[in-house]
Amino acid sequence: MTHVLVTGGAGFIGTHVVTALHDAGHRVTVVDSGHPGAHRGPLPDTVAGAPLVRIDVRDRPALAAVLADGVDAVVHQAAMVGLGVDLDDLPEYVGCNDLGTAVLLAVMARAGVHRLVLASSMVVYGEGAYACAGHGPVRPAPRTVADLAAGRYEPTCPRCAAPLTPGLVDEDDPLDPRSVY
């Protein structure tokens, strides 16, 4: 039986990961900070029967104590989520997501835990995959202020302004991040 630590285990994706690991017979430790950027209400006491420990992954001593309990692997889902409405949001995103991941990696190395599954986000692909009836696959430009003010939210073809059809994004598609998140 593998002992897996799931960071962000009370979040939308984390709860599904915890459930799948539990159902597969693994021992699961769940940590989550309850950050208001990811949670609208109070944290539960357990996730899929696993006790939840309230820890911010930037808290090195608390994280080290959890990893010292024989953790074999980490599934890292902890992150401040959202769209990053303002550049003032940058320090909190970097603190939670980048610094939090760096602290986790440092504590894992010190504890001798070498197996990590790191979550990502669709946001790294920008608008995603779209096709224009006349031009085929296209990458839409960012929305203009004028379009947003007029209530036009759907992306259009950057060549002819025609409506686009959404498609599936492959993991090998080019990255085009447009958000501080």
pLDDT tens for the 181 residues of the chain, in order: 899 999 999 998 999 999 999 999 999 999 999 988 778 889 999 999 999 999 999 999 999 999 999 999 999 999 887 655 677 888 888 888 899 999 999 999 999 999 999 988 777 888 888 999 999 999 888 888 898 899 988 999 999 999 999 999 888 888 888 766 6
Q: What is the pLDDT of residue 181?
A: 64
Of 89, 81, 63, which is closest to residue 7 (Cα–Cα)? Answer: 63
pLDDT for the residue numbered 120: 80
Residue 177 burial class via C-beta count within 10 angstroms: exposed 0-12, middle 13-18, buried 19 and up: exposed
> Alpha-carbon distance 99 to 56, whole Å?
11
- For each of the domains in the chain, give its residue range(s) and CATH number, in order of start: 3-118 (3.40.50.720), 127-166 (no CATH)
| pLDDT computed for residue 126 by the predictor | 82
